[in-house]
Structure 1
Amino acid sequence: MNATGAIGIFDSGVGGTSIFKEIHQSLPLESCIYLADSINAPYGQKSKEEIIRLSKKNTELLIKMGCKIIVVACNTATTNAITELRESFNTPIIGIEPAIKPAALSSQKKIIGILATKGTLSSELFSKTSELYTQDVEVIEVIGKGLVEAIEAGKEYHTETKKLLRSLLAPMLAKEIDYLVLGCSHYPYLIPLLQEILPPEVKIIDSGQAVAQQTKNILATYRALVSKPQNAPKFYTNKDVQLLRHFVPNPEFEVSYLDF
């Protein structure tokens, strides 16, 4: 592994920038290359075969760009394609899954909510993880239909988005959940709205910090952590540069259009 290579990150759009921020905070010296496949967002409505194809395309491009490790910053891509990616590439690949385990183990009421895409909730990997940790827990699963599209349109704080969220969360509120698991890397951008809608005792958890820690652990195992600052992070989108810049406003970060 080339220690000075970048950390490659991809998502079905801008949502994975929430994962990038956790990684950058944990590993500030490392260079990162981010791919926002916004032209194909959301992945959650696509077939497993299409998700695998897109995930392979993104991974191959990041490896060609010299990335030393790949972070699949998309729950849907992870739960549907991570096995195929690891079989196809020698580069270490880290995925992201909904944080079911910590929610199930920490819940006092033994009633938790999971907000995720259809692609994640219907995946075999999600089903296996859920069965493993939620045998004595009631799980309220809700497909966040329309949420990724709202965020991809830069409307994460709009009144209509809040109205949609309130409707989606109604079954969870009725059951009085005490944990809400965010099963999509786009959804952390909705936390301000979620906090307005949910009772204050409901804890919201996502997988960002865990992914950052795992990235650090794997690089340490390969002795591939850098000791000096590398190039500034680079972000590429195949759709709307201004939208991606909205989510990574730091002027030192390069944000560009790339046809991929």
Structure 2
Amino acid sequence: MSNKAIGIFDSGIGGTSIWKEIVTMLPNENTIYLADSKHAPYGKLSKNEILSLSIKNTKKLLDLQCKIIVVACNTATTNAIKELRQQFDIPFIGIEPAIKPAALQTKTKRVGVLATKGTLTSKLFAKTSDLYANNIEVIEVIGTGLVELIEKGKIHTPEMHTLLTSYLQPMIEKDIDYLVLGCTHYPYLIPILRKILPNNIVIIDSGEAVARQTKSILLKNSLLSKNSEKAEHCLYTNGNLSVLEDILSNYKISTTASYLEF
């Protein structure tokens, strides 16, 4: 069981930012990644649609013999992980915007959150905000169109720069000192964000924290790999394979990327 793969899914290629952190922290672990690009972004779907897709992805990863599942999608976590844990007898790792560290460290008492509609309107996000950010101002902005551009391979384009500038300007004017990225696609925008944001604004994403939690749960369940051979990383997409391959080319990790209908 311990040498089976860590299963990871997201509504597209964005969760590869989480996958990369997991592979870095757990180099002996095999991984299987599902990029559900056909239905990206989940953030514009209804809760029932998100739940249905999350169940579909989970069943596929179980068919592929995964030992643990990382829901590398903020929207799927906030809308479906409770039901997934009730329905399937396997450990799940979720991801949600890193409001807590931003709220604890802000000096201006104003933090920005850039996320999808599905995340920002979820009960879990509201609960987390109430718990950690009730004494600070949270400026929430829905990143409409960002995931679609990333999924089309249009990260470094004038269109992306213009869109990001329009979303960030209200936060800059509010004097935020932390920007929380509430979508796993958004870490790929950090080079552009750095050009637009003032130098004092700290950008936070959840990748490393999710990798730490994954390691912790594997340890707790005695599921850490005993594999002494080179780990295998299989990534599948039901969308444009070249976009996934382009993202993976940024990493010095041996992978196989394939198209898969799911």
- Counterpart-to-counterpart distance in 1, 2:185 and 2:253: 22
Residue 57, structure 1, aligned to residue 56, structure 2: yes
Residue 168, structure 1, aligned to residue 164, structure 2: no
In structure 2, the residue matched to 1:145 is 144
In structure 2, the residue matched to 1:258 is 260
How many angstroms does 1:160 deviate by? 1.1
How many angstroms does 1:158 deviate by? 1.1
1:257 partner amino acid: Y
In structure 2, the residue matched to 1:46 is 45
What is the alpha-carbon root mean square deviation over aligned residues? Answer: 0.9
Tell me, yes or no, if the aligned pair for 1:4 and 1:230 is still in contact at 8 Å.
no
Q: Which runs of 4+ in 1 moved over 2 A?
A: none
Where 2:216 maps in the other structure, the secondary structure is helix
- Counterpart-to-counterpart distance in 1, 2:234 and 2:10: 14
Tell me, yes or no, if the aligned pair for 1:78 and 1:95 is still in contact at 8 Å.
yes
- Counterpart-to-counterpart distance in 1, 2:168 and 2:229: 43
In structure 2, the residue matched to 1:11 is 10
- Counterpart-to-counterpart distance in 2, 1:132 and 1:251: 38
**Partner deviation per Cα, 1:26-80 (whole Å, 9 max, x = no partner):** 0011000000000000100000000000000001110111100000000000000
How many angstroms does 1:209 deviate by? 0.4
1:164 partner amino acid: L
In structure 2, the residue matched to 1:136 is 135
How many angstroms does 1:195 deviate by? 0.3
How many angstroms does 1:252 deviate by? 2.7
Tell me, yes or no, if the aligned pair for 1:30 and 1:229 is still in contact at 8 Å.
no
- Counterpart-to-counterpart distance in 1, 2:93 and 2:244: 23
Residue 181, structure 1, aligned to residue 180, structure 2: yes
How many angstroms does 1:229 deviate by? 3.3
- Counterpart-to-counterpart distance in 2, 1:37 and 1:107: 35
For structure 2, the 5+ residue unaligned runs are none
- Counterpart-to-counterpart distance in 2, 1:26 and 1:65: 22
For structure 1, the 5+ residue unaligned runs are none
- Counterpart-to-counterpart distance in 2, 1:246 and 1:40: 20
How many angstroms does 1:110 deviate by? 0.6
Tell me, yes or no, if the aligned pair for 2:110 and 2:138 is still in contact at 8 Å.
yes
1:171 partner amino acid: P
Q: Map of 1:94-173 to 2, 5 A cutoff?
A: 94-173=93-172
Where 1:68 maps in the other structure, the secondary structure is strand
Tell me, yes or no, if the aligned pair for 1:79 and 1:123 is still in contact at 8 Å.
yes
**Partner deviation per Cα, 1:69-121 (whole Å, 9 max, x = no partner):** 00000000000001010001001000000000000000011100000000000
TM-score normalised over the length of structure 1: 0.98
2:9 partner amino acid: F
- Counterpart-to-counterpart distance in 2, 1:130 and 1:102: 11
- Counterpart-to-counterpart distance in 2, 1:38 and 1:230: 28
In structure 1, the residue matched to 2:247 is 247
- Counterpart-to-counterpart distance in 1, 2:219 and 2:229: 16
In structure 1, the residue matched to 2:215 is 216
Q: Say which is worse superposed, 230-239 or 30-39, in terms of deviation.
A: 230-239
- Counterpart-to-counterpart distance in 1, 2:71 and 2:160: 26
In structure 1, the residue matched to 2:224 is 225
Q: Say which is worse superposed, 70-79 or 242-251, in terms of deviation.
A: 242-251
How many angstroms does 1:231 deviate by? 4.0
1:15 partner amino acid: G
Aligned length: 259
Q: Say which is worse superposed, 237-246 or 225-234, in terms of deviation.
A: 225-234
